[in-house]
Amino acid sequence: MTILDKIIAEKRQEVARREAETPAAALQALPPFTRPVRSARAALTAAGSSGIIAEFKRRSPSKGVINGTAEAGATTAGYVAAGAAVLSVLTDEPFFGGTPADLWAARAACPATPILRKDFIISEYQITEARALGADLILLIASCLTPAEVQQFSQFAHSLGLEVLLEVHDEAELRSHLAEAVDLVGVNNRNLATFATDVATSARLAALIPSRFVRVAESGLQHASTILELRQAGYQGFLIGETFMKTADPAAALAGLVAELTTPVSAS
Ligand SMILES: O=P(O)(O)OC[C@@H](O)[C@@H](O)c1c[nH]c2ccccc12
């Protein structure tokens, strides 16, 4: 059993529990359910966008505790002030230490910035929940879903006004799971079954993703030089968590990266 299998088994129980506690109809009655959605596609493709999708991530199965003290509202507000185009908030508790309250706090602190609900989505209920928590887009992970589920969940997300980021980590997943209904395609450099991270994965898959999808490189990104290379390869979004969260001041780490991205390389 891989860690991903464990996460999904646990997630099925969690979703059943949550749905019994708070039925979908109750979620639909919450005020954020009808708030206007902010488009991540628009934010990442706008002229001058940093393209950075800055993630709030306390811990992970591969790294253990990354940041045990940061608060979601203050951290995400700092990210926006430092130039993040989009935010990502982990809401998985058992493996990543996130909570739905973190997403709620980020939404309250950052009303104008698109927010990705980062979780392992296996049911429509979680998509309704994402909308009710104030998210603007959801993640669908190819290695957790059938192609038919990607199709179904994308259509459901769109019916609620949400955008969809489909995550793949190799050519086979791209071939089997890419659906017209998704808005953004993310290439995860981290293999969720083995945790091995290889930034070359994004570079390799870039040309296989049609340009009508916004391309997002995910995981293991640390240096401005890598981002500039991936931009050349056709990426418009860069999902970064640990590089920021492992520092005492995640927003300052992001500001430093943005400064490097915008400083012309001196001709020496
Ligand atoms: O912290 P990193 O290496 O910058 O990675 C961020 C993000 O890509 C990673 O958290 C992630 C990508 N896809 C996921 C799916 C589930 C949980 C986590 C993830």
CA of 49 to the centre of ligand 1 (A): 21
Domain count, the chain: 1
Q: pLDDT band for position 265 (50/70/90)? A: low
Q: What positions carry a catalytic annotation? A: 55, 57, 118, 167, 188, 218-219
pTM score, two decimals?
A: 0.97
Give a yes or no: residue 76 inside a domain: yes
Q: Check pLDDT > 60 for residue 35.
A: yes
> Using a 6 Å CB cutoff, which residues line ligand 1?
55, 57, 118, 141, 167, 188, 218-221, 239-243
Q: Whose CA is closest to atom 16 on ligand 1? A: 119
Give the Cα separation of 243 and 251 in Å (integer): 11
CB 159 within 8 A of CB 25: no
- pLDDT tens across 110-119, in order? 999 999 999 9
Q: Whose CA is closest to atom 18 on ligand 1? A: 118
Give a yes or no: residue 1 inside a domain: no
Partnered with residue 60 across adjacent β-strands are 64
Give a yes or no: residue 86 inside a domain: yes
Q: Check pLDDT > 70 for residue 153.
A: yes
Q: Check pLDDT > 60 for residue 267.
A: no
Q: Check pLDDT > 90 for residue 192.
A: no
Give a yes or no: residue 267 inside a domain: no
Question: Mapping DSSP to helix (H, G, I), strand (E, B) and coil, where does residue 126 land?
Answer: helix
Give a yes or no: residue 209 inside a domain: yes
CA of 222 to the centre of ligand 1 (A): 13
Mean pLDDT (whole number) for 14-19? 98
CA of 29 to the centre of ligand 1 (A): 31
Q: Which residues form the domain of 80?
A: 7-30+38-262
Give a yes or no: residue 182 inside a domain: yes
Give a yes or no: residue 2 inside a domain: no
Among 196, 252, 239, 225, which residue's Cα sits nearest to residue 87?
Answer: 239
Q: Check pLDDT > 90 for residue 74.
A: yes
Give a yes or no: residue 268 inside a domain: no
Query: Any idea what the CATH number is for the domain that residue 179 is in?
Result: 3.20.20.70
CA of 266 to the centre of ligand 1 (A): 32
Q: Whose CA is closest to atom 11 on ligand 1? A: 219
- pLDDT tens across 240-254, in order? 999 999 999 999 999
